Structure 1
């Protein structure tokens, strides 16, 4: 077969073919790695969302407990007969509430720490 000035030499064709194949393979590997990274990020995001939802549910439960305790105090204060009884009820309430708030804060802190650790662990894969 006779070559024309516009023919591409076989060696150049082979090199170009290999280069295209290598570029295609590199792109496929890049896309696969990107898909894996996205999947990990989605899993981590889902884990964070679940952890935050759990913390929110517990915080709401604590709010309900605290509001209930306040209403209980109000009912007891209405039935108090003396200033001393009112003072004693308030002292008891504030003592219990300070302990409850401290315990609730510790509980929520531990839950947030666990949620963060779980999310970090899932992000590592």
Structure 2
């Protein structure tokens, strides 16, 4: 059986922290540009624009949750904590995605009804 170290080396943590911050900054720049583009797209009908905005909000929330998990994993003390954090994340995200799907479905239905009335 392979003997795996229980501690994550400091050099690895430092490198991962730097890469993590670069990835988060890149994502924030991307989502900001996408929100700006959606907000200024006058050709998109209001119900569709609201649906796109809601989808982007959900995507941003989900990616931020993944970044939060990554941040916690960077500071995990051992493999056991990594597994615990991952299990907690999976449970929380499943609940969030179910809620988001329900809310998005309701929003889409309202948008379709709004368009149908015209």
**TM-score w.r.t. length of structure 2:** 0.61
Distance in structure 1 (CA, Å) of the matches to 2:97 and 2:80: 25
**TM-score w.r.t. length of structure 1:** 0.58
Task: Tell me the equivalent position of 2:116.
Answer: 120
Alignment of 1:29-108 (within 5 A): 49-108=45-104
Task: Tell me the equivalent position of 1:24.
Answer: none
Structure 2: tracts of 5 or more residues without a match: 1-43
C-alpha distance after superposition, 1:42-71 (max 9, x if no partner)? xxxxxx821111000010011111111111
Structure 1: tracts of 5 or more residues without a match: 1-47
Q: Which has the higher helix share?
A: 1
Task: With a CA cutoff of 8 Å and minimum separation of 6, indicate the structure with the bigger relative contact order.
Answer: 1
Distance in structure 1 (CA, Å) of the matches to 2:86 and 2:65: 11
Larger radius of gyration: 1
Distance in structure 2 (CA, Å) of the matches to 1:117 and 1:72: 37
Q: Structure 1 segments of 4 or more deviating over 6 A? A: none
